[in-house]
Amino acid sequence: MKNSREIDEIIERYCFGELTPEELRIFEQWLENDPQLSASVNDFLSLKDAFENYRERLALKKKIEQIHEEVEYDLFNAPAPLKVVKSGKSSRVIFGKERSYFSIAAAVSVFLLSAVSLSLWIFGSGSSKNQNAYRELRREVEKIKKNQKEIIKGINADDVKGDLKQFTGTGFAITKDGYVLTSYHVVQDAKQIYLSNEAVGQLQAEVVYSDKALDLAMLKVKEDSFPGFKEIPFSIKKSISDPGEKVFTLGFPREDLVFGDGSISSYTGYEGDTTAYQISIPVNPGNSGGPLFDNQGNLIGIISGKNESAEGASFAVKSKWINDYINSRNDQNNILLPTNKFLVGVDRASQIKRIKDVVFMVRVFN
Amino acid sequence: MNQVQPVAEIQVLELLQAGDDKTLKIVYRQNYQTVVSFILNNGGSLQEAKDTYQETIIVFCEKLKQDGFELNCSIKTFLYSIGRRLWLKQLKRKSRFTTEELNDSEDYLPIEEDKTDEREEQFYAMNQALEQLGEPCRSILKDFYINGNSMEEITQKFGYTNADNAKNQKYKCLKRLKKSFFEVFNNGIVTNEELQRD
């Protein structure tokens, strides 16, 4: 007589179809005469079925968990409507809104336009309707502005030829040793970049890396005897801020630093762009690349553009993306992000006093 | 720019039935808030809400694959209804009886019992049984019956002196698992009738 472990083993082998023909013959005979054995076989089959189901579901669960991770960030945003892009015969479902390249096109067309006066908006000349709605905010400056010519002359007269175009935007330091963030569209196609403000005077800089889609560029000061910036007073917020939160920015829509404040209006930017916020700060050309701070003086974004067809709708790239982006590039340039909290619990005027030394006008010559 | 148009949901269903993961991702994202909010509003934690929502998606996928599947409501309503029912079941299992009505934010349909229920119960029972087992039983059984590892691999991995020792251990473990699996499975089934008997 076999013990119960041996019987269970035979049942298992029977259920997995592993019995030899001889064993099978004997087992089936046995099965006919023993209802208890038959019940045990059924139990094992149920268990086997449950194992298989468990395995399948686990795989499905894993897949769904992966989907969850991929969309986790978007889940905190308003759901975008389901859209299908009709392209020829086949239709394709697209995932929310993807940032198009029209903005780049707009900036390129700007380049093609000849003289635009200092205070005028830069108009893209593309055919798409959307092209006109999203306005990047770098400022084109007439090449013959006297004061700038002098500056140029003072720095590097030989390099700057008469036909160069000049744009301005805003940038801000994120490390003491000379790393500066701004918008990609401010420095795109730049031949020369200069940073200037009251504290540092004028410094030449170069692009270390940049990302078109996120509209971010990392600059580094390129000066032999650069003493370093003052301590960066803020830290970069890694989480998402909510609509209603009060925010402010500093920028150079003109030759002097200008403060602007408002609130976050939406979790998403232009056309549901989830990498950006919509904010209610009136911004102007030249504000692009400017830092966006919350009440505590944490950096929560970078001003990137505004909606032309809606009043008071400006956009800023979220700091979460900035943080992730910089970290993803840290294998080449180890940039330690600022973590200072000098601005917490300080009134607005004092905050600005500390920030203004690390916010620059970015002048770009194409 | 391409012309953007809303799609009939039937197209979405077809893509899902064809196993299009990108569409699944969209559906997952679009309905997350609705189902998760429902659970949060009805006594669930965020973790429970997320788990139940993922279970909802699994049930939805399984239902889609059944022969003759037909959807007579929006995907959103369907998912809400599945999620609602799963959460009700969960509440029953935990015996969190509430005299209060459930807080509904959406219309919902009665979901008929079908094979997906049994599979869900089976999964739940197996999960519970494995949880109750403890180590090394849980890992041994998972390795052998779910991950398909051989007895030799298991012998090595768990440091048994020979394959027979490992087999003996596995046999004991399976016996315990069997007992608790059937306990949960046979008692755990919550029928529609029970769900309505509030």
Whether A175 is covered by a domain: the verdict is yes
Residue A117: per-residue pLDDT: 35
pLDDT of residue A158: 36
CA distance A143 to A113: 13
Task: Note the ipTM here.
Answer: 0.81
The average pLDDT across A128-139 equals: 56
Q: What's the average model confidence in pLDDT over A31-58?
A: 87
The arithmetic mean of pLDDT across residues B23-32, rounded, is 87
Contact by Cβ (8 Å): A58, B146:
yes
User: Do B32 and B67 reside in the same domain of the chain?
Assistant: yes
- Residues 6 or more apart whose CB falls under 8 angstroms from that of A8 comprise A40, A44, B171, B174, B175
pLDDT for position A218? 94
Judged against a pLDDT cut of 90, whether residue A90 lies above it is answered with no
Domain contains B193: no
Which of B111, B133, B164 is a domain's end point? B111
Q: Does any domain span residue A81?
A: no
Residues B132 and B66 grouped into a single domain: no
* Residue that is last in its domain, among A41, A60, A75: A75
**What pLDDT is attached to residue A363?**
87
The confidence score (pLDDT) of residue A140 equals 62
In a shared domain, residues A12 and A145:
no
Is residue A167 scored above 70 in pLDDT?
Answer: yes
* Distance to chain A for B164, nearest Cα, Å: 12
Residue A316 confidence (pLDDT)? 92
Residue of A366, A245, A221, A257 lying closest to A316 (CA atoms): A245
Task: Determine the pLDDT at residue B193.
Answer: 59
Q: Is A245 on the interface with B (CB under 8 A)?
A: no
| Residue B194 within a domain | no
In this structure, are A222 and A128 located in the same domain? Answer: yes
Note whether A263 and A155 are same-domain residues.
yes
Answer whether residue B134 is part of any domain: yes
Average pLDDT over residues B40-48: 85
Check if the beta carbon of residue A262 is closer than 8 Å to that of residue A280.
yes
- The mean pLDDT of A233-257, rounded to a whole number, is 90
| Residues 78-107, chain A, touching B (beta carbon < 8 A) | 79-87, 91, 93, 95-96, 100, 102
A71 and A122, same domain (yes or no): no
Shared domain for B102 and B140, answered yes or no, is no
Same domain, A158 and A215: yes
- Whether B125 and B97 map to the same domain: the answer is no
Distance set, CA A305 to CA A101, A173, A215, B103, B141 (Å): 14, 20, 10, 42, 58
pTM score, whole prediction? 0.46
Q: pLDDT averaged over chain A?
A: 76
Q: Do B107 and B136 reside in the same domain of the chain?
A: no
In a domain, B2, yes or no: no
Residue at token pair 């208890």: A36
B190 has a pLDDT exceeding 70? no
Average pLDDT (A241-257) is 89
Domain harbouring B14, CATH code: 1.10.1740
The predicted model gives B167-173 an average pLDDT of 87
What is the reported pLDDT for A339? 85
**Residues of chain B with C-beta less than 8 angstroms from the C-beta of A95:** 22, 25-26, 29
pLDDT at residue A294 greater than cutoff 80: yes
- Chain B residue with Cα closest to A16: B145
Compute the average pLDDT of residues A109-120.
37
Supply φ then ψ for residue A141, to 5 degrees: -120, 135
User: Of the residues B111, B129, B159, which one is the last residue of a structural domain?
Assistant: B111
Based on the domain organization, do B86 and B20 belong to the same domain?
Answer: yes
Q: Are the C-beta atoms of residues A102 and A135 closer than 8 Å to each other?
A: no
pLDDT class of A104 with cuts at 50, 70, 90: very low
pLDDT, mean of residues A75-91: 39
Label residue B191 by pLDDT band (50, 70, 90).
low
Together in a domain, A26 and A159: no
Answer whether residue B179 shows pLDDT above 60.
Answer: yes
Same-domain pairing of B100 and B175: no
Residues 131 through 190 of chain B touching chain A, CB cutoff 8 Å: 145-146, 167-168, 171, 174-175, 177-178, 181-182, 185
Chain A neighbors of B5, CB-CB under 8 A: 83-84, 86
Residue B195 lies in a domain: no
- Say if residue A291 is preceded by a cis peptide, omega within 30 of 0: no
Could you tell me if residue B3 is inside a domain? no
A48: containing domain: 4-75
* Nearest chain B Cα distance for residue A43, angstroms: 8
pLDDT band for A300, please (50, 70, 90 cuts): very high
Claim to verify: residue B101 and residue B184 sit in the same structural domain: no
Give buried/exposed letters for A235-255 (b at 16+ CB in 10 A, else e). Answer: bbbeebbeeeeebbbbbbbee
Number of domains in chain A: 2
Report, as an integer, the average pLDDT of B48-55.
Answer: 91
Any idea which residue has 């030829």 for tokens? A161
Taking CA–CA distances from A12, the nearest residue in chain B reads: B171
- Name the nearest CA neighbour of A127 among B1, B191, B143, B11: B1
* Residue A118 Ramachandran class (φ > 0 left, ψ -120 to 50 alpha, else beta): alpha
Same domain, A163 and A211: yes
B104, part of any domain: yes
Q: Which two tokens stand for residue A6?
A: 């041996």
- pLDDT at site A75: 64
Tell me, what's the pLDDT at A87? 35
The reply to whether A84 falls in a domain is no
Q: Does B75 touch chain A (CB under 8 A)?
A: no
Last residue of a domain, one of B56, B79, B111: B111
Please tell me whether residues B35 and B98 are part of one structural domain. yes
Instruction: Name the more confident of A165 and A122.
Output: A165
Q: Is A234 found in the same domain as A317? A: yes
A contacts of B185 (beta carbons < 8 Å): 46, 50
Same domain, A150 and A56: no
Q: Look at A94-103, A274-283, A347-356, B159-168 and tell me which has the smallest mean pLDDT.
A: A94-103
The domain in which residue B143 lies consists of: 117-188
Name the closest residue on chain A to residue B4, using Cα atoms: A85
B197 occurs within a structural domain: no
Please state the rounded mean pLDDT for residues A45-70. 88
Residues B13, B106 within the same domain:
yes
Do A28 and A131 have their domain in common?
no
Token pair listed for A280: 């209610």
Q: Using a CB-CB distance cutoff of 8 angstroms, which residues of chain A are in contact with residue B58?
A: 57, 60-61, 64
- Residues B59 and B88 occupy one common structural domain: yes
Task: Assess B37–A contact: CB distance below 8 Å, yes or no.
Answer: no
Burial class (CB in 10 A: 0-12, 13-18, 19+), A264: buried
Which residues of chain B are within 8 Å of residue A91 when distances are taken between CB atoms?
A: 7, 11
Residue A319's CATH number: 2.40.10.120
CATH code, domain carrying B131? 1.10.10
Q: Is the model's pLDDT at A241 over the cut of 70?
A: yes
Share of chain B above pLDDT 70, in %: 87
Higher pLDDT among residues A115 and B35, named by residue: B35
Q: What are the pLDDT digits (tens) for B57-85? A: 999 988 888 887 888 788 888 999 999 98
Burial of residue B55 (CB within 10 Å: 0-12, 13-18, 19+) is buried
Average pLDDT of chain B is 81
pLDDT of A7: 84
Claim to verify: residue B49 and residue B139 sit in the same structural domain: no
